[in-house]
Structure formats: C-alpha cells, structure tokens
Amino acid sequence: MATLPPWMERPSRIVQAGKAVLIAAIVLIMLYPFCYMIAMSFASKESSTGGFWPTAFSLDAYTSILGGGVVTRALLVSLFVTVVGTALSLTLTSTLAYGLTRIRDVPGARAVLIIVLATMFIGAGIIPNFLLVKSLGLIDSLWSLILPVMISAFNLVVVRNFFMNIPASLYEAARIDGAGNLWIFLRVVLPLSKPVLAVIGLFYAVGYWNSFFHALLYINDTAKWPIQVVLNQYVIQGSQIANLQGGNDIAVPPAQSVQMAVVVLATLPILLIYPFLQRHFAKGMLTGAIKE
C-alpha cells in the first residue's frame, strides 16, 4: 500500500494542539496593540492610564478632537481625496485596461502598453515630480494628491489580465448582435469584472486614505492636510492639543487618550470597508488565471 507524503499525512493530536497554541499566541500578540489603542482612547481625565486597561471611561477624547478643529477638517479632506480619487482611478484604469486588451483594434495600444510597463521599473524621482506638480499649479491643491497617482501600473496590469481572460465567445456574441466596443465594455466586461474592480478599488482607496508623503511635499496649507499628516504631527511630533481642537474652550482629556483617539479615527474607515470587500479577493485575483 502506497504511503502518503509527509505533508499530506494527518498530524497527531499533539501537533494539532501545538499549532492551535501557536496560532492563538500570534493572534493575541497582533490584537494587543489594537485593543490597547481602543481602550486608551476612551480613558477619562480621572482614569489611571498606567496599565493596560483604564479605570474610568469617557468620550472626552472623541468629543475634543471632533469639535470642529483640525482633526475633523483633516478627516473631511481625506474623505474627499479617497472618494474622488478612487472613482477617477477605477474609471481610468478600467477604460485604459480595456483599450490595451484590443491591441489589434486600437492604434498605438502596444506602444502605450510598453510605456505603462516601463513605469513599473523606471521612476522620474522626487524632484522632477515636484517640478511637474508645481508647473501645473497644483501646489496647495488637493488635486496634487490625486492626479500624480491616478493610475497604478500594477493595478492596470491586473485589470487588463482579468479582461483578457473573459471568454472570447462573449465578445463575438455581442458583436453579432451589433454591439460596439463601448457597449461591450459597459454591458459585458464591467458586469463580469466586479470582483477585480472591488479589489483594485480597495487598493486605490487604501493608497489615497494613507496619503502622507505627497501631502508633505505638495500641501503647505495646514487647513488642507489629510488625516495622516495630522496624525504624524500630533502623535509623532507631539503638537499641542489646543492646536488640534481649533482653540475650543472645552475640557482637555489626557494627551494619551487624544493620541489614541486620533489613531482610531485614522484607522476605522478602512477597517469598516475591508470586511465587505474581502469575499472578492480570492475570486478577483484567481479568476484571471482560469483559461476558457
């Protein structure tokens, strides 16, 4: 009787128990900073924040930073950049990817594809990019956080490969019915591409929401800072609480509570969106590998 390879044999109970303990330990190690951050963000002024868990809870930290000051304004800026940027990026990435799948129908498509692939290996650099943004008059404009990174070459390649693996019979059937390229793209390609578009949309949204370096380069007006820059200025650089609150005359909670509350607000939107798109990850990434 043929024996199974070692990696296919059922592990013993001791090995299974060891794996369970190891996984539980890893989960606890990963969850500890997150739980500590949330707990400390609710610590009141009377609470002792020396241990892991505060002794008294309140919403003073969130009331303080959401009182119309810098944090609230930064959240709105990040929300605008993320929503508008993701919508534009998905639109341009999907249309360009579809055009690059029709190399025989679109003149110059092969040359454009080569240029796009070249950008994955060759970058202009910080100074040329800054000079370009400055020459376009985008300094201190929120569009400087969107236009330079509107299309990702990697995301474009992923979407293009997905489009190329859509069965050719669907294109042929649509053309027999008299459909043009635009109708095929809107009525055939996009409905079948929801998984990959959801995944790429999440990639773009995370990138725009976490926009930090470009904001430091292009945004000098503090009123237009996104949440990640405010997070760095307060939590890392240690800016004064009053500055973040816009000078509101309200009770000031512990500095650590305000710092943790800012971190929670900067992290929460992506955590809320991810569970709804997680189910598309495997399908969006693996469907493109299936041939007709």
DSSP states along 3-14: PPPGGGSPPPHH
- 69 or 93: which leads in pLDDT: 93
Query: What is the rounded CA–CA span in Å between residue 113 and residue 110?
Result: 5
Please tell me the predicted confidence (pLDDT) of residue 242.
47
Mean pLDDT of the region 23-34: 90
Mean pLDDT of the region 187-208: 88
Domain ranges, ordered by start, for the chain: 66-289
Mean of pLDDT over the chain: 81
From the list 271, 273, 269, the residue with the least C-alpha distance to 77 is: 269
3-state secondary structure of 267: helix
Residue 245 has pLDDT above 60, yes or no: no
Please tell me the predicted confidence (pLDDT) of residue 252.
61
- 238 or 87: which leads in pLDDT: 87
Task: Read off the pLDDT of residues 169-178 as tens digits, 9 standing for 90 and up.
Answer: 888 888 888 8
- Superfamily name and number for 66-289: MetI-like (1.10.3720.10)
Please tell me the predicted confidence (pLDDT) of residue 92.
94
Q: Is residue 209 within a helix (H) or strand (E), and if so which, with residue range?
A: helix 194-209
Please tell me the predicted confidence (pLDDT) of residue 90.
94
Structure pTM?
A: 0.80
